[in-house]
Amino acid sequence: MVRLVPRDTKFYDMFADMASNIVEAAQLLKSILQDFENVEVRTQQLKELEHKGDDMTHGVLVKLHQTFITPFDREDIHQLASAMDDVLDFMHAAGERLVLYKITYAPAAAAELADVILRQARQLEKAVTALDKHDQVIEICVEINRLENEADRIARRALGELFENEKDPINLIKQKELLEVLETATDKAEDAANVLEAVVLKSA
Amino acid sequence: MVRLVPRDTKFYDMFADMASNIVEAAQLLKSILQDFENVEVRTQQLKELEHKGDDMTHGVLVKLHQTFITPFDREDIHQLASAMDDVLDFMHAAGERLVLYKITYAPAAAAELADVILRQARQLEKAVTALDKHDQVIEICVEINRLENEADRIARRALGELFENEKDPINLIKQKELLEVLETATDKAEDAANVLEAVVLKSA
Amino acid sequence: MVRLVPRDTKFYDMFADMASNIVEAAQLLKSILQDFENVEVRTQQLKELEHKGDDMTHGVLVKLHQTFITPFDREDIHQLASAMDDVLDFMHAAGERLVLYKITYAPAAAAELADVILRQARQLEKAVTALDKHDQVIEICVEINRLENEADRIARRALGELFENEKDPINLIKQKELLEVLETATDKAEDAANVLEAVVLKSA
């Protein structure tokens, strides 16, 4: 049978590109938070990845508005692109705080949180290239949510220690915001996973 | 006439369960903020209600994705579940701040805000079981919005007094965040009311 | 040919009214942040504009829920109204911080940010009255996004200077929040522009 209106598979490629860009940014952010070397130069690289991600997101949305038949719900394409864009934004925001607030050290929890974001990003990368495999996507979504819970525990413990030990209020403000911004990136990855779960549940 | 595709009324029951779970959490939070006794144990109970709420929200969304004909707009079901989930999340966040920041007292405004959340939750509970009664739902939504304005005034006054009197910046940060998180819970209840208003307006 | 179901053009007028209300509020906020005179009285005027905006937003949503055929996607009408409402909310929040925290001075960046909001608001006003002119709306959206980037740079530089120079943590908290709230208003104007871009792309 001839498929008269072929569904546009290009969206999948675009999401795969977005995911691998997020993986690259998460690797970079993690390594910055591990050694705090050349922070300004490497945060600039992070900013470039974030700009690249913005262009990718914009590309998905422009394509979405101009495409009549989409491979999955329009609203889900929009929300997935937004959530993946947010992950990158909050990673970039974390890097920016380092420069802006001249942060030269952070508790180990900061690099641990970046590592959680990296692991979530790798799961996202797997999921967007396997959207036809229902069970695999559901498993990935469960894992991304589990990682978000792990991030939550890491951030909570680190914030508790911060309020216990940091007596300089301005340092406390800086470190608190760094930890919160990192933790928010993991929330956004969970949002992306929730959209992916919706996509496979609807097609079941 | 035979109704060939019966609309699924199970959603109403699920929302009623979510609402009564929110009421229970709000009662608990209010009583914690009134006496500050056994904070850790009771915050743990609050966390359990929040987890229960998470499961309920997830249940609504899974059901939504697998249901063809819904009793009201899919998007509204999604948004209502999300907003109700957010109310609980911010209540839980308030409880968590108490433990994390070792907060052992708070201005009376904190318990007053929890009381506003409780009153909003009771209104939500009434509304989700009366979605076929247009005028009653509209009245409830007006009342929930009025309560949000009341919360706004309470929080604003308390923040003004905090900045007037609290000279320890770290204490100020803790108390400010507690008040803001509580006030945000009332915003989320208003979001839920706005969805309910949309539902009855569309069916008018 | 007779158009049997005329599309409702009233929405355009409502958005034009919302935009000019935002312009008025931005002018007021900018002038407050320039001279810090009669802050309480003029913040009260800002609050009145915000209430007027709330009523306008509510009017759009009620009309939306009761209208069968809309001039553009229902979801976009909803999102545009929400984003425009948010611009006003964050301007109002900035004014409120002045009164609440008794802020009597601010870095020049605060008035500069209000000026960016004003310029964005004027662009929004142009766009909502030109939704049939594809190229013009796209140009306006590019300009609103450019202004958001400008606001980002202004806020970042001001925050860097604040953390460099302000040694009083409570003052730092106040000024930081003022700058952040202003910058968020420019994000919300960008959100509104993104909806407008979607509207014209879809109709292309």
Chain C positions in Cβ-Cβ contact with residue B173 (cut-off 8 Å):
173
Test B100 with A172 for CB contact under 8 angstroms: no
The residue with tokens 């040694």 is: C167
Residues of chain B neighbouring C61 (CB-CB closer than 8 A): 194, 198
Q: How close B46 gets to chain C, by Cα (Å)? A: 30
Q: Return the structure tokens found at A32.
A: 């910055």
Helix or strand or coil: residue B1? coil
Query: Contact at 8 Å (CB) between B175 and B106?
Result: yes
Q: Which residues in C have their CB inside 8 Å of a CB on A?
A: 75, 156, 159-160, 163, 167, 169, 172-173, 176, 194, 198, 201-202, 204
Q: Give the CA dihedral A119, A125, A128, A131, nearest 10 degrees.
A: -70
Q: Which residues of B touch C62 (CB under 8 A)?
A: 201
Query: ipTM of the assembly?
Result: 0.91
Tell me how many residue pairs between chain A and chain B have CB atoms under 8 A apart.
Answer: 28
Closest-CA residue to A116 (of A98, A138, A91, A96): A91
The answer to whether B45 and B21 have CB atoms below 8 angstroms apart is no
The pLDDT of residue C7 is above 90: no
Residue whose C-alpha is closest to residue C198's, from C12, C22, C73: C73
Alpha-carbon gap, residue C127 to C138, rounded angstroms:
9
Min Cα separation C42/chain A (Å): 31
- CATH number of the domain at B10-202, please? 1.20.58.220
The Cα–Cα gap between C161 and C166 comes to 8
Question: Are A65 and C202 within 8 A, CB to CB?
Answer: yes
- Neighbouring CB atoms inside 10 A of B103's CB total 20
Cβ-nearest to C170 among B160, B169, B202? B169
- Provide mean pLDDT across the span C23-48: 97
Q: Which residues of C touch B165 (CB under 8 A)?
A: none
Give the count of Cβ contacts less than 8 A between chain A and C: 29
Amino acid at position B188, single letter: K
| Distance (Å) from the alpha carbon of C41 to chain A's nearest alpha carbon | 32
Model pLDDT, residue B53? 98
Q: Is pLDDT above 60 for C105?
A: yes
**B-chain residue closest to C167, CA distance:** B169
Q: What pLDDT does residue A1 have?
A: 44
Contact state of C202 with A173 under an 8 Å Cβ cutoff: no
N-to-C CA span, chain B: 23
Residues of chain A in Cβ contact (below 8 Å) with chain C: 61-62, 65-66, 75, 96, 100-102, 169-170, 173-174
B&C contacts, CB < 8 Å: 29
Do the chains contact at A169 and B174, CB–CB below 8 Å? no
- Test B66 with A198 for CB contact under 8 angstroms: no
Mutate to test the interface with B, among A173, A194, A201 (most CBs of B within 10 A): A201
Give the C-alpha separation, A48 to B8, whole Å: 49
Q: Which of C76, C98, C115, C91 is nearest to C203 (CA)?
A: C76
The tens place of each residue's pLDDT in chain A, 204 residues long, gives 444 555 667 899 999 999 999 999 999 999 999 999 999 999 999 999 999 999 999 999 999 998 888 988 999 999 999 999 999 999 999 999 999 999 999 999 999 999 999 999 999 999 999 988 999 999 999 999 999 999 999 999 999 999 999 999 999 999 999 999 999 999 999 999 999 999 999 887
Pick from B61, B75, B101: which is nearest to A163 by CB?
A: B101
Measured at the CA of A180, the angle between CA A177 and CA A181, to 5 degrees, comes to 85
Contact: C201, A173; criterion CB under 8 Å: no
Residues of A in contact with B76 (CB under 8 A): none
DSSP state of A1: -
Judge: A66–C201 Cβ closer than 8 Å, yes or no.
Answer: yes
Contact A96 C156 (CB under 8 A): yes
pLDDT at residue C3 tops 60: no
Q: What angle do CA B138, B141, B145 make, to 5 degrees?
A: 140
Q: Which chain C residue shows the shortest CA-CA distance from A174?
A: C163
Q: Report chain C residues whose CB lies below 8 A from the CB of B137.
A: none
Query: What is each CA distance from B168 to A42, A157, A163, B155, C169, in whole angstroms?
Result: 36, 23, 13, 19, 9
Find the CB nearest B160 among C61, C65, C100: C100
List chains touching C (3+ CB pairs under 8 A). Answer: A, B
Give me the residue from C100, C170, C174 closest to B156, CB to CB.
C100
**pLDDT (tens digit per residue) in C114-173:** 999 999 999 999 999 998 899 999 999 999 999 999 999 999 999 999 999 999 999 999
C-alpha atoms less than 13 angstroms from C-alpha of A71 in its C-beta half-sphere: 16
Look at A173 and B174 and tell me if their CB atoms are within 8 Å.
Answer: no
Chain C residues with beta carbon closer than 8 angstroms to that of A102: 163
| Mean pLDDT, chain C, integer | 94
Which residues, given as ranges, of chain B have pLDDT below 50? 1-3
Give residue C204's pLDDT: 73
Residues C182/C114, Cβ–Cβ less than 8 Å: yes
- At B99-143, the pLDDT tens digits run 999 999 999 999 999 999 999 999 999 999 998 899 999 999 999
Which chains are adjacent to chain B, needing at least 3 Cβ pairs under 8 Å? A, C
Most A CBs within 10 A among B170, B172, B176, B181, hence the mutation to make, goes to B170
User: How far apart are alpha carbons A119 and C85 in whole angstroms?
Assistant: 37
Contact between residue B91 and residue B122 where contact means Cβ atoms under 8 Å apart: no
Of C66, C75, C170, the CB nearest to B201: C66
Residue of C38, C36, C151, C17 whose CA lies nearest to C85? C17
Work out the pLDDT band at C203, boundaries 50, 70, 90. confident
